[in-house]
A and B are shown apart, each in its own frame.
Chain A
Amino acid sequence: MDPLRPLDPARLGDHIDRLYRAAVGLCGSHADAEDLVQETYVQVLRKPRLLRSDDDLGYLMRVLRNTFYSRYRSEARRPRSSPLEEHEEVIEGRAGAHPADAAEASEVLAAVAALPEPFREVVAAVDLAGLSYREAARALRTREGTIMSRLSRGRAQVADALGYTS
C-alpha cells in the first residue's frame, strides 16, 4: 500500500490549466468554469488532506466533478442563450497560433459540453485534463473498462459534432 502523503497546497497551482479545461468542458461556460475551479480549490484548501497515491490532479478532478454535480449541474442542463463564447486565453502561450484556433477550440469545447453527462465527464477528465484511464477511473468512481467505453462513444459524438466525414 502506498504511504500516506499530505497534499501540498504549494503544488496545487500546477494543475489549474488542466482543471480549467475540464471545467469548461463540463460547464460549457468560461464564467461557470472559473467559479467551479475556484470552488474546487476552496474545498480542497479548507483543511489538510492526506492522499495515498501520487495523484493530486486525479484528486482535484474528483472534487471538481463532485462540486459540479452538486452545484452546477442543474444550471448546465438549462438551454443556453448563446453558444460558448470565444476566450481570450485560448491561444495564450502558443507561439504563432492563428486566431482561428481560438474559434476552433471553442467549437471543440462546445461539442464536449453538449455530450450526455456520462460521456462528458470522461472526455473532460481524459482528453481535456489529461488523466490516465486509471486516474480517471479513480476520480470518477468507476472502472477502467467503463472509462474506455464511454470515452470511445464520447469521442465519436465529438467528431460528429465537429462535422467529421470519413
Chain B
Amino acid sequence: MSEQADLDRERFAVAALRSVELRAPVRLRTRIEAERERARRPARRRRFGLGGALAGATAAAAVLVALLLPGGAGGPTVVEAAELATRPPTEPAPEPGRPKLLATSAFGLPYPDWAEKFGWEPSGRRVDELDGRRAVTVFYEKDGREIAYTIISGEALDPPEPSAAARREGTRLRYVTDDGRTIVTWKRNGLTCVLSGSGVPATKLLDLAGWKGLGAVPF
C-alpha cells in the first residue's frame, strides 16, 4: 500500500473514531457522584503522629511494640518506620526511571518499579525525620490496596525480635505480621529498608522486597 493510501486509511479511521460521541449513562454519573460524596466525609484513617500512635495503641499493639524494640543500633525501630505507611503521601507518585526502577531514590538507592512485573503502581512519596534519621517512603497501589517502602538513613536498624526469616534472590529478609499488617525488613547497601502493608500476604511482600529485576535494582 502506498504512503498516500496509508494516510487515507488512517484519516478514515480517525474520522470514524472521533465521530463517536458516546456519553456516560446517567446511572454512572449518579454512582460517581455518590462516590464523591462518600469521599467528602471525614476520613477514618489514622492521621496522628508516632507519639500519638504509640500512646493510643491497643494492648495487643503495645505487646507487639514491646517485642520489637531496637536491639542496640539506635534510632527508630523498624515498627516505627513502618508506621509511616499510615501517613498520607506529601509528594506525587514518582515517574518511571531507568528500566525496572522509579525516577526517585533515597541515599543513593533507587526505588524499584514494580508496575510491569507485579502490577504495583507508585502512588506517592513522603520524607520524614525519625529519631534524627531521615526516612524516605514511596507508596505503591494495586487493586485498591496500598503498601509503603521506606528507606532509613544511617546505621542499619536491628530487625524486630522475634520475627520470621525468609530469603529471596539471595537476600535475607525478616518479617512480622500482626492483625493483618505485615512488616518486612532487609538491608540494601547497609541501609535498612521496610516494606509494609495491610491485607497483603507476607509472601507477596517478600517477593517484592527481594526482587532484583535481573540485576537492575541495586542491593
List chain A residues, Cβ under 8 A from B21.
90-91, 93-94, 97, 105
Contact with A along B22-44 (1 / 0, CB 8 A): 11111111011101101110010
Residue contact A4 to B13, C-beta cutoff 8 Å:
no
Contact with B along A1-32 (1 / 0, CB 8 A): 00010000110110011011100100000100
Residue contact A159 to B92, C-beta cutoff 8 Å:
no
Closest A residue by C-beta to B39: A45
Interface-lining segment among B3-11, B164-172, B188-196: B3-11
List chain A residues, Cβ under 8 A from B43.
47
Residue contact A16 to B28, C-beta cutoff 8 Å:
yes
**Which residue of the partner chain, among B10, B25, B143, contacts A89 with CB atoms under 8 Å?**
B25
Is B180 an interface position by the 8 A CB rule?
no
Question: Roughly how many angstroms separate A104 CA and B16 CA in the complex, as a whole number?
Answer: 9
Residue contact A46 to B144, C-beta cutoff 8 Å:
yes
Closest B residue by C-beta to A155: B13
Q: A37-B24, A89-B24 are in contact. Are A158 and B17 (CB under 8 A)?
A: yes
Q: A16-B28, A16-B29 are in contact. Are A128 and B17 (CB under 8 A)?
A: yes
Residue contact B121 to A164, C-beta cutoff 8 Å:
no
Residue contact B22 to A166, C-beta cutoff 8 Å:
no
Is B89 an interface position by the 8 A CB rule?
yes
Is B141 an interface position by the 8 A CB rule?
yes
Closest A residue by C-beta to B116: A141
Question: Roughly how many angstroms separate A10 CA and B17 CA in the complex, as a whole number?
Answer: 29
Residue contact B92 to A51, C-beta cutoff 8 Å:
yes
Is B142 an interface position by the 8 A CB rule?
yes
- Count of interface residues, chain A, beta-carbon cutoff 8 Å: 59
Q: In terms of DSSP, what is the predominant structure of the interface of chain A? A: helix
List chain A residues, Cβ under 8 A from B25.
30, 34, 87-89
Residue contact B27 to A34, C-beta cutoff 8 Å:
yes
Question: Roughly how many angstroms separate A160 CA and B19 CA in the complex, as a whole number?
Answer: 17
List chain B residues, Cβ under 8 A from A101.
19
Residue contact B23 to A155, C-beta cutoff 8 Å:
no
Q: A24-B22, A156-B10 are in contact. Are A43 and B89 (CB under 8 A)?
A: no
Residues of B participating in the A interface, judged by any CB pair closer than 8 Å: 1, 5-6, 8-10, 12-14, 16-29, 31-33, 35-36, 38-40, 43, 45, 88-92, 95-96, 115, 119, 121, 124, 141-144
8 A-B pairs with C-beta separation under 8 A:
A17-B24, A19-B24, A20-B23, A41-B35, A90-B20, A108-B17, A141-B96, A166-B5
Given contact pairs A70-B142, A155-B13, A159-B13, a sample of 16 additional A-B residue pairs in the complex whose CB atoms are under 8 Å apart: A4-B92, A9-B40, A13-B36, A20-B23, A34-B27, A34-B28, A48-B88, A50-B89, A50-B124, A71-B143, A105-B21, A138-B95, A152-B10, A156-B6, A164-B9, A164-B13
Residues of A participating in the B interface, judged by any CB pair closer than 8 Å: 4, 9-10, 12-13, 16-17, 19-21, 24, 30, 34, 37-38, 41-43, 45-52, 66, 69-71, 87-94, 97, 101, 104-105, 108-109, 112, 123, 127-128, 138, 141, 152, 155-156, 158-160, 162, 164, 166
